[in-house]
């Protein structure tokens, strides 16, 4: 699969490489997110740079020290031949000092990569203190050294690298939190697909490169679901459990919480009930899942801080798809009913894409449009709005606000197959009046986002009222340009 969508990360690596001082870069992100691919792509741009690349494993600490020692000696140009197979430095500190000697010999910048550092850290908790000591007393004084530590265990990285009391706290000269690819990368990877199918691919894969690659192998969306996503033992079937079991105690409880939220239960009491937890116990699990960025808490735009109207959503798009659609089909999948499972998932996917994926892309469009100067104001916050007042509820899909200017953009996202009719605009305007800021006279512009276009009557109404009509094609164009 072609390398796309990592321009900012590549620029960070380039700045790190060009520095005249020693550098320590922390690269971290969930499994399959493309950390190794990012580094190898960067190395391909700098083939002249000497590189030491070592990958930690889940083996014992003694095994890994020996493996690292072997790699260090193989990297030493002063040695006439390879080391004996059983050679190992006595300590990690000795091995790192020997590596420092090798780097110091060269007058060229040299990249040293310790990939999957968190696997080593799990088996040898003292390694971060050892690296900190060697960095402070030796490595940081070698200007040509560029050290990169990568990790997939996000909780461990937070505790052992970024926490104030962590040994490596404050040592990093650069860091990259690698997140899923944006929707614009999906557009670049699948230029021949229909726009609505690109949205579906994004909704299923969540922009995770390894999962996107599956859909590049075939033009049949349902076939990809059947043959790769809904097969026992496949990467997309196995990864969620691995991700949780690697990082969490009581992973089954976390899975119950994720399943509840992914299934549409967004309020605290409903999540607790569906997960089989007390309201009090739920707090711990939500806190951890938020720290890992698997779940996020959203509040209505312009709500008071710590409003009781907050709702919880699965932030990781792939996990949201997995726990919403795949988990209920595990029984049929295990019995070999892959085609039936794929057809059922596909049939239920449309409302899911409209309620979650398309709405989120519409909110992303607001930021991109503001950056491109397509809006009358630059919003300070973009989200959605919901409220129940005197027994009446209101839900506004897209709300962008600039409180200091008292300006709003309020929009509605429609994923249906029908052309949008004129009645939608006055209905949106009427519902928006239940938002206090609209009632108070804030300057408000309206927008309708549609998958299948707009009727002539709606276009005339929009022109008269200054409302925006954003088609799926226009949305894609703006996101691609951002």
Domains defined for the chain, CATH in brackets: 7-177 (3.40.50.300), 183-355 (1.10.10.10), 358-481 (3.40.1350.10)
Residues β-bridged to residue 54: 114
CA distance 276 to 348: 26
- CA angle 422/425/428 to nearest 5° reads 145
What pLDDT is recorded for position 66? Answer: 97
Polymer length of the chain: 482
The token pair at 34 is 């493309």
Q: How does DSSP assign 51-75, residue by residue?
A: EEEEE--SS-HHHHHHHHHHHHHHT
The token pair at 425 is 């605009």
Q: Are strands 407-414 and 311-314 parallel, antiparallel or unpaired?
A: unpaired
What pLDDT is recorded for position 271? Answer: 98
Q: Are strands 51-55 and 23-28 parallel, antiparallel or unpaired?
A: unpaired
The token pair at 315 is 């932030």
Contacts of residue 316, Cβ cutoff 8 Å, sequence gap at least 6 = 30, 180, 206, 293, 294
CA distance 102 to 76: 6
How does pLDDT run across 16-72, given as a tens digit for each residue? 999 999 999 999 999 999 999 999 999 999 988 899 999 999 999 999 999 999 999
CA distance 23 to 111: 10
The token pair at 428 is 């949106």
> Element (H or E) spanning 240, and its range?
helix 235-247
8 A C-beta contact, residue 317 and residue 358: no
Contacts of residue 432, Cβ cutoff 8 Å, sequence gap at least 6 = 394, 396, 410, 438, 444, 446
What pLDDT is recorded for position 218? Answer: 86
- Give the number of other Cβ atoms within 10 Å of residue 441's Cβ: 8
Q: Are strands 381-389 and 392-402 parallel, antiparallel or unpaired?
A: antiparallel
**Residue located via tokens 């014992």:** 60
8 A C-beta contact, residue 179 and residue 30: no
What pLDDT is recorded for position 276? Answer: 97
CA distance 76 to 21: 22
How does pLDDT run across 379-417, given as a tens digit for each residue? 999 999 998 867 778 999 999 999 999 999 999 999 998
Q: In degrees rounded to 5, what are phi and psi of residue 272?
A: -60, -45
**Sign, Cα dihedral of 360, 221, 191, 177:** positive
Environment class of residue 317 by beta-carbon count within 10 Å: exposed (0-12), middle (13-18) or buried (19+)? buried
C-alpha dihedral over 475, 225, 153, 361, to 10 degrees?
10
What pLDDT is recorded for position 318? Answer: 95
Q: Give the closest residue to 181 by CA, choosing from 325, 317, 289.
A: 317
- Give the number of other Cβ atoms within 10 Å of residue 73's Cβ: 21
8 A C-beta contact, residue 305 and residue 296: no
Report, as ranges of residue numbers, the positions in the chain whose pLDDT lies below 70: 389
How does pLDDT run across 249-291, given as a tens digit for each residue? 889 999 999 999 999 999 999 999 999 999 999 999 999 999 9
Query: What predicted TM-score, i.e. pTM, was given to this entire model?
Result: 0.92
C-alpha dihedral over 438, 441, 443, 449, to 10 degrees?
20
- CA angle 92/34/187 to nearest 5° reads 170
């Amino acid at each position: 699969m072609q390398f796309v969508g990592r321009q900012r990360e590549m620029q960070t690596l380039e700045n790190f490489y060009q520095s005249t001082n020693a550098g320590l870069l922390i690269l971290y992100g969930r499994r399959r997110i493309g950390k190794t691919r990012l580094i190898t792509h960067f190395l391909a741009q700098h083939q002249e740079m000497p590189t030491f690349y070592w990958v930690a494993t889940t083996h014992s600490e003694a095994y890994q020290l020996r493996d690292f020692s072997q790699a260090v000696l193989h990297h030493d140009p002063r040695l006439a031949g390879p080391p004996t197979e059983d050679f190992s430095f006595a300590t990690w500190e000795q091995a790192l000092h020997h590596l420092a000697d090798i780097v110091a010999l060269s007058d060229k910048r040299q990249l040293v990569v310790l990939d999957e550092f968190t696997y080593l850290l799990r088996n040898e908790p003292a390694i971060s203190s050892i690296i900190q000591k060697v960095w402070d007393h030796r490595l940081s004084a070698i200007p040509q050294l560029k050290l990169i530590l990568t990790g997939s265990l996000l909780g461990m990285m937070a505790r052992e690298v970024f926490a104030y009391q962590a040994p490596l706290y404050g040592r990093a000269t650069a860091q990259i939190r690698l997140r899923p690819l944006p929707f614009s990368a999906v557009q670049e990877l699948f230029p021949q697909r229909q726009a609505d199918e690109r949205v579906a691919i994004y909704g299923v894969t969540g922009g995770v490169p390894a999962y996107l690659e599956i859909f590049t192998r075939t033009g049949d969306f349902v076939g990809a679901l059947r043959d790769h996503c809904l097969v026992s033992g496949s990467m997309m079937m196995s990864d969620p459990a691995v991700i949780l079991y690697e990082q969490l105690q009581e992973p089954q409880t976390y899975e119950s919480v994720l399943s509840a939220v992914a299934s549409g239960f967004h309020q605290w009491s409903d999540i607790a009930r569906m997960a089989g937890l007390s309201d009090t116990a739920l707090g711990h699990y939500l806190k951890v899942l938020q720290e890992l960025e698997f779940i996020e808490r959203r509040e209505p735009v312009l709500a008071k801080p710590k409003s009781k109207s907050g709702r919880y959503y699965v932030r990781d798009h792939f996990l949201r798809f997995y726990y919403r659609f795949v988990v209920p089909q595990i029984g049929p999948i295990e019995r070999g009913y892959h085609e039936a499972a794929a057809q059922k998932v596909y049939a239920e996917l449309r409302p899911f894409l409209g309620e979650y994926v398309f709405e989120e892309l519409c909110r992303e469009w607001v930021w991109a449009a503001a950056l491109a100067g397509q809006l009358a104001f630059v919003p300070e916050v973009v989200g959605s709005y919901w409220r129940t007042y005197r027994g009446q509820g209101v839900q506004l899909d897209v709300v962008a606000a600039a409180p200091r200017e008292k300006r709003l953009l309020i929009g509605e996202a429609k994923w249906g197959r029908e052309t949008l009719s004129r009645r939608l605009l006055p209905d949106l305007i009427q519902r928006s009046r239940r938002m206090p800021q609209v009632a108070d006279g804030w300057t408000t512009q309206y927008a309708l986002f549609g998958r299948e276009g707009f009727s002539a009557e709606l276009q005339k109404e929009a022109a008269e009222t200054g409302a925006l009509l954003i088609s799926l094609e226009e949305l894609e164009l703006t996101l691609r340009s951002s």
